[in-house]
Amino acid sequence: MKTFLGIDVGSISTNVVLIDQEKKVLFSLYIRTEGDPIKAVKNGLKLLEDKFPQGIEIAGVGTTGSARYLTGVITGADLIKNEITTHAKAASFFVPEAKTVIEIGGQDSKIIILKNGVAVDFAMNVLCAAGTGSFLDAQTVRLKIPIEEFGKLALKSEKPTNIGSRCTVFAESDMIHKQQIGHKTEDIVAGLCQGLVRNFLSGVARGKNIKPPIVFQGGVSENLGIKKSFEDALGQEVIIPKYNKVMGAFGAALLVCENPPQKTKFFGFEELDKDIKCTSFQCTGCPNRCEVIEARINNEVIARWGDRCGKWSGNIA
C-alpha cells in the first residue's frame, strides 16, 4: 500500500498527516513546535514510525507552514507548498462547495476566498498577533485557565464584556481592569473571543466578500467560543471540518497524492538518528547582503537558500 505524507510546521504546532491512495487518513498528529522545528519534525516522524513498526511505503512527501522549506530540505520532500494552497485544498476536500476559509493558527491568521475549490483571493495578518492563537495563549496565562477550557467557559457567558483587542498589550490591560471592577471570568473570556473575531474581521478580512459555506480551521478552531463569535458576527453557520487542527498537513498530503513523483526523494526514517543542523550567514558579495540559510546532515551541507542570485544555493558539492 502506497502512502503519502504531509508535514506542516509552524511557530506553535507541528502537524503530520499520512494518507493512503484513497485519501483516507491513516495517521494524524498535532504536537508543539516549542521553538525547535527540526526537533519537532524528528519527534513527529518518530511517532509515525512507532505507529507502523512493520514499515510502510511512503510514495511522496509534501511540506507546508512557515518552516516548510527547512522541513522539505531535512526530510527530502517532493513538494513544498505555501499554507494558502494547502489549506484551500484541504477545505475544499471536506466541504466541496466552500467559498470562504478562515484559518487561525499560533502566529498568523488568514482568510481564503474560494471559487470552484480554487483560491482566488486571500489575506493574512502582517502587523500584529492580536487576531491569532498566541493572543489567546497570553490571556489564558493571566486568567489561569487552561486553553482547552477557554471556549467552553466562553459559552457559559450571558453578558460578554467588551474588551479592546486591537493590541495584545492593550487587551491585557483592559482585561485586568475588567477583573478589578468585578466582571465574571466567563464574561471576560467571551469578550476576548469576540474581540479576536472583531479584530480578524476588521483587519485580515477587511474588504473581502465573505460568503457561505464558511470553513473554520487551524488550532484556534478548537475554541467553541471563537466559533460562536464568528457565527454571531457573520450571521452564518461556520463549519469546523474533521481534522481541523491539521488541515495544512492534510492538504500537503493530498497535493502530493494527486501528483505523485515517479520515485520519492524522502530520506527515510533512518535520517532521524543523524545530526541535523541549520545555520545562517550573511553574504557580502553585493549590496543585497542576503542572509543565506545552510542545512547540514552529519556536517555535510545538503542545501542552502535565501540568496537572490543563486551564488550559494546553486553551488552545493
Does the domain formed by 96-240 have CATH 3.40.50.300? no
Q: Cα(252)–Cα(229) distance, rounded to whole angstroms? A: 29
For the record, the C-alpha cell of 203 comes out as 483587519
**CATH T-level topology, domain 2-86+249-273:** Nucleotidyltransferase; domain 5 (3.30.420)
d(CA 207, CA 225): 24
| Location of C-alpha cell 494518507 | 19
Residues 6 or more apart whose Cβ sits within 8 Å of residue 160: 154, 187, 190, 191, 193, 194
> Considering only CA atoms, which of 107, 111, 114 is closest in space to residue 129?
107
In the chain, residues under CATH classification 3.30.420.40 are 2-86+249-273, 96-240
pLDDT for residue 213 is more than 60: yes
**8 A C-beta contact, residue 209 and residue 174:** no
Give the mean pLDDT of the chain: 88
pLDDT band with cut points at 50, 70 and 90 for residue 298: confident
Q: Which of 169, 158, 170, 223 is nearest to 197 (CA)?
A: 223
- Tally Cβ neighbours within 10 Å of residue 41: 24
Give the pLDDT of residue 242. Answer: 92
- Rounded to two decimals, the pTM is 0.86
- Predicted confidence (pLDDT) at residue 168 exceeds the cutoff of 90: no
Beta bridge partners of 304: 294
pLDDT per residue as tens digits for the range 133-143: 777 777 777 77
Range with the poorest average pLDDT among 212-216, 256-260, 261-265, 307-311: 307-311
Closest CA relative to residue 100, chosen from 83, 119, 86, 81: 119
Taking only the tens place, the pLDDT of each residue in 23-78 is 999 999 999 888 888 999 999 999 999 998 777 899 999 999 988 988 998 899 99
Higher-confidence residue of 121 and 136: namely: 121
Dihedral class, residue 90 (left if φ above 0, else alpha if ψ from -120 to 50, else beta): alpha
Residue 130: its pLDDT value, please? 58
Grid cell listed for 275: 545530526
**Residue 4 β-bridge partners:** 19, 60
pLDDT value of position 175: 76
Q: Residues 6 or more apart from 16 whose CB is under 8 A from it?
A: 5, 6, 7, 8, 27, 28, 29, 44, 45, 47, 48, 246, 249
